Amino acid sequence: MKLTLIGNGIMAQSLARGLIKNHEVEIIGRDNDKLKAIQEKIPQITIKVLEDNEDITGKNILFCVKPYALQSVSARLSGNANILLSILAGTKLETLKKQIKAQHYIRTMPNVAASVQNSMTTITGDNEAKMVAMEIFSSIGQVIWVNTEDQLDIATAVAGSGPAYLALIAEALADGAVKAGLERHLSYQLVQGLFSGTASLLKHSHPAIIKDSVMSPGGTTAAGYAKLEECGVRDAMIKAIEEAHKKATELGKK
């Protein structure tokens, strides 16, 4: 299937890297120099500068611009796309339908792990396009279909923004090891293995069970865990999701 990505930012590039393994990918953007630089990194794609009257008739569009750019970019699109798959955070289907013409509309929220075909993507929208959307995004990782846009906004706060939160934790763990006296390269190697192994455990066990299996009475894990609770790490993570969801909701009202 040929997919046309409109937008040339980090997320569009991450999607392109994953999608090229199973799809023909075209990227349309406003900056020709940036498009050429992307093509040098991902030679399998084709590139095109966005025209003032860009015909999208019959195309399968992945709309990858920033939410604030929706109106300015959509004003330059003409014709009726086959399917519009939007990754715009908080931007409602109703808003997309007013701006861009298509046979079917889908909202999605992949994450940057799409570049290594390991995205956790949430999808909602027209049921008629459900199977196509699921097939496209399952080629770059795991997919979940949700029934409401509010559920997708919550998922955006978790899986869309989540890599940044986990990266912060990973960096902090490595910094802690360095502070204790371990070399930086060894610290990062340990953290990489830790995240990979824990991800495998999470496929089979509840987080609480994993935690309890590691925490021996009076042991090192219990001591460290108590400090995390004392510093409010659990509360901070919950509030991070709440704030990200709130922001997604606010974007949808603009």
> How many C-beta neighbours within 10 Å does residue 168 have?
11
- Which residues, listed in sequence order, are joined to residue 49 by a DSSP beta bridge? 29
Q: What is the largest CA-CA distance in the chain?
A: 68
Question: Is 11 annotated in some ligand binding site?
Answer: yes
Question: Is 58 annotated in some ligand binding site?
Answer: no
Q: Which position has the token pair 């015909």?
A: 55
Note the Cα 172 to chain centre separation in Å: 22
Question: Is 8 annotated in some ligand binding site?
Answer: yes
Q: Backbone phi, then psi, for 57, in 5-degree steps? A: -55, 125
Residue among 46, 59, 56 at smallest CA distance from 8: 46
> Residue 107 contacts by C-beta under 8 Å, 6 or more apart in sequence?
85, 86, 88, 91, 92, 93, 96, 123, 124, 125, 149, 152
Question: Is 10 annotated in some ligand binding site?
Answer: yes
Query: What's the DSSP call for residue 157?
Result: I
Query: What's the DSSP call for residue 173?
Result: H
Burial of 87 (0-12, 13-18, 19+ CB in 10 A): buried
Question: Is 22 annotated in some ligand binding site?
Answer: no
Q: Cite the annotated binding site by residue number.
A: 6-11, 53
Q: Cite the annotated binding site for NADP(+) by residue number.
A: 6-11
Q: Cite the annotated binding site for NADPH by residue number.
A: 53
